[in-house]
Structure 1
Amino acid sequence: MEFELRILGSSSATPTANRHHTSQVLTIGNQYHLIDCGEGTQMQLMQYKIKHQRICNIYISHLHGDHYFGLAGLLSTMHLQNRQMPLHLFGPPGLSEILSLQFKYSGTNLCFKLIFHELDTYAYQQIFEDKDITVHTIPMQHRVPCCGFLFREKPKPRPLIKEKLPSFLTPPQLINLKWGQDIKNEQGNILVQNTDVTLEPKRSRSYAYCADSRFKPDLISYLHKVDLLYHEATFTDDLRERAAYTFHSTARQAAEMAAAAQVHRLILGHFSVRYKDLTPLLTEAKELFIEVELATEGSIFSVEE
């Protein structure tokens, strides 16, 4: 099953000629999860041939404009193109009211069901679950209520070794074997040892999106050994005081977080407009953590099973 992140926008509050406001698409299987929706997101979706009708969920981290000003336009386009599938929208308090006012005064009555889930941005809690994944909020520390999002695949079944399966097994017993159970008789004696007829399951993958925030070491436990970590890196470390003052992080601090949490790969994003060349941020982070890349527009980050 596909598990792939596409970067649509990487700039901070002010966009540049080649960097857009924050937005990402996480593809899991045949579903798209849109994470933040800055201005121009729907143009970026078209640029990279991502069909917005396949978006199942949208997650908004906070109500600074560079993270959600593209949302009303995207929802309006979905309406104009006659979307039928319900859409789940996860966001902080106030977002529903903002959208209601925009749609009220533009005379927009969406033709599809928009299901809004108001988030407690100060809590680590599960907000979504389907047969494949769970999604949790990650509390950030920013100037307005803000949270990140942690996507985790559920444990996967063990593949059966067909040529080793006894012929007497029933369908329910085969299912039990897939989920790691031995097959026993009524007396409790093992008839079929699970490890004799199954293979190790494919590993479950994970992605953590850490939105705008001061460096927050208490996040380490939530991020422990995730496959892919996106962490904002608005400034280089010579501007650490400014980063703290504006409730942002530096590239070095992002690398400190990745190293402490023992993540597999780090992606830096949310770059200040002052950096025409992003090399200094990448170089700074690599001094502490080798597996780091830049979240530039169009970049794709895949996680293998």
Structure 2
Amino acid sequence: MRELVVLGTSSQVPTRARNHNGYFLRWDGDGLLFDPGEGTQRQMIHAGVASSQVTRICLTHVHGDHCFGLPGVLARMAVDQVTHPVHLHYPASGEETVRALTGLAGAGPDLRWHPHGGAGDVADGLEVAPLRHRVETYGYRVREPDGRTLLPDLLTAAGITGLDVGRLQREGQVGGVRLADVSVPRRGQSFALVMDTAVCDGARRLAEGTDVVVMESTFADEEAGLAAEYGHLTAGQAGALASEAGAGLLVLTHFSSRYADVAPLREQAQARAGATRVVAAADLDRYAFPRRRELRRRTSPGPGA
């Protein structure tokens, strides 16, 4: 199952309708919790996300609205007797803050520490890229490898049935029939989280070709000066970045408390997003991932043709 659960959407301070940041990604057998701001533990209860489902916690940076919920989440894991290892990813420059926050939780789960100080892979299928903010900040990208989709009509024509189907997938060839003869390429799905940043190459890299990208939209376009001063995106900038990257769905979040109604921000982003679909997230929203995309459909009559 692949699903994004939005736990909070407010920047800097919560509002009556919006909690601090928090995003939970169900990705097959993994549960990735991004930027747990204050109140995340309670939001997880409302969203039906059990602490035992969290296998990784990923911090973009150590500003409070992105990490002050960490002690509560870890303490809840201890209460719930979570026994599996929990991998904690964070910018190396925030080590002192992260250690202090985790220390507040007392005896929590089995934490595995993963500080990072540059772009690249930080775990299998998980990479980071630097963003442009007032402190060291990284966005995250989750991806699966490209694969192939088997085509039943071509399997039948080639006489591949039963256990031989699995063998073909593992070994790449069975009795002269190649995997490529009975399948089409399938692009692996990907997800990106682009938080506090001005427009930068790291944001573009993370969002490139993603099925779903969560992107901050702190300010309306009219406040472009404030956005530049504080290292944030406007709604229109977020839409343009997603369009340039060819993202499928842009989920806007991290809204300033000055905006009670974020519909105009969605409109500004969509105006510059091209073919990318744009939604303005609300707390406790859920977004299921689309079906994987086939890159091409074979038109030849069968294997060896």
TM range (shorter): 0.7 to 0.9
Q: Where does residue 139 of structure 1 map in the other structure?
A: 130
The two structures have a TM-score, normalised by structure 2, of: 0.85
CA distance in 1, matches of 2:54, 2:64: 21
Q: 1:211 aligns with which of 179, 183, 195?
A: 195
CA RMSD of aligned residues (A): 2.5
8 Å Cα contact 1:61-1:67 kept in structure 2 = yes
8 Å Cα contact 1:282-1:293 kept in structure 2 = yes
CA distance in 2, matches of 1:101, 1:274: 31
Query: Residue 110 of structure 2 aligns to which amino acid in structure 1?
Result: K
Q: Where does residue 79 of structure 1 map in the other structure?
A: 78
Q: Where does residue 213 of structure 2 map in the other structure?
A: 229
Label 1:179 to 1:159 Cα distance change in 2 as closer, same or farther (>3 A): farther
CA deviation map 1:245-286 (0-9, x unaligned): 011110010011111112111111110000011121111112
Query: Residue 61 of structure 1 aligns to which amino acid in structure 2?
Result: T
CA distance in 2, matches of 1:176, 1:150: 32
Q: Which stretch of structure 1 is more off in the superposition, 78-87 or 61-70?
A: 78-87
Label 1:103 to 1:91 Cα distance change in 2 as closer, same or farther (>3 A): closer
3-state DSSP class of the match of 2:12?
A: coil
CA distance in 2, matches of 1:107, 1:247: 31
Q: Where does residue 66 of structure 2 map in the other structure?
A: 67
Aligned-residue offset at 1:30: 3.3
8 Å Cα contact 1:103-1:109 kept in structure 2 = no
8 Å Cα contact 1:8-1:24 kept in structure 2 = yes
Query: Residue 290 of structure 2 aligns to which amino acid in structure 1?
Result: E
Label 1:293 to 1:252 Cα distance change in 2 as closer, same or farther (>3 A): same
Residue 109, structure 1, aligned to residue 121, structure 2: no
In the TM superposition, 1:118-137 aligns within 5 A as 118-120=115-117, 123-129=118-124, 134-137=125-128
Q: Where does residue 151 of structure 1 map in the other structure?
A: 142
CA deviation map 1:68-126 (0-9, x unaligned): 0000111011112222111100011255433544565x58223x310010011xx3200
CA distance in 2, matches of 1:57, 1:304: 23
CA deviation map 1:177-214 (0-9, x unaligned): 32684457xxxxxx224344x33365421111111001
CA distance in 1, matches of 2:99, 2:251: 34
Aligned-residue offset at 1:287: 1.4
Residue 192, structure 1, aligned to residue 183, structure 2: no
Q: Where does residue 246 of structure 1 map in the other structure?
A: 230
Q: Where does residue 278 of structure 1 map in the other structure?
A: 262
3-state DSSP class of the match of 1:238?
A: helix
Label 1:80 to 1:195 Cα distance change in 2 as closer, same or farther (>3 A): closer
CA distance in 1, matches of 2:100, 2:206: 36
Q: Where does residue 188 of structure 1 map in the other structure?
A: none
Q: Please, which runs of 5 or more residues in structure 2 have no aligned partner?
A: 292-305
CA distance in 1, matches of 2:44, 2:260: 24
The two structures have a TM-score, normalised by structure 1, of: 0.85
Q: 2:248 aligns with which of 258, 264, 270?
A: 264
8 Å Cα contact 1:152-1:206 kept in structure 2 = yes
3-state DSSP class of the match of 1:17?
A: coil
CA distance in 2, matches of 1:265, 1:102: 33
CA distance in 1, matches of 2:157, 2:229: 63
Label 1:158 to 1:278 Cα distance change in 2 as closer, same or farther (>3 A): closer
Aligned-residue offset at 1:64: 0.2
Q: Please, which runs of 5 or more residues in structure 1 have no aligned partner?
A: 185-190
- Matched-pair identity in %: 28
Label 1:30 to 1:170 Cα distance change in 2 as closer, same or farther (>3 A): closer
CA distance in 2, matches of 1:76, 1:107: 5
Q: Where does residue 187 of structure 1 map in the other structure?
A: none
- How many residues are treated as equivalent by the alignment? 287
3-state DSSP class of the match of 1:88?
A: strand
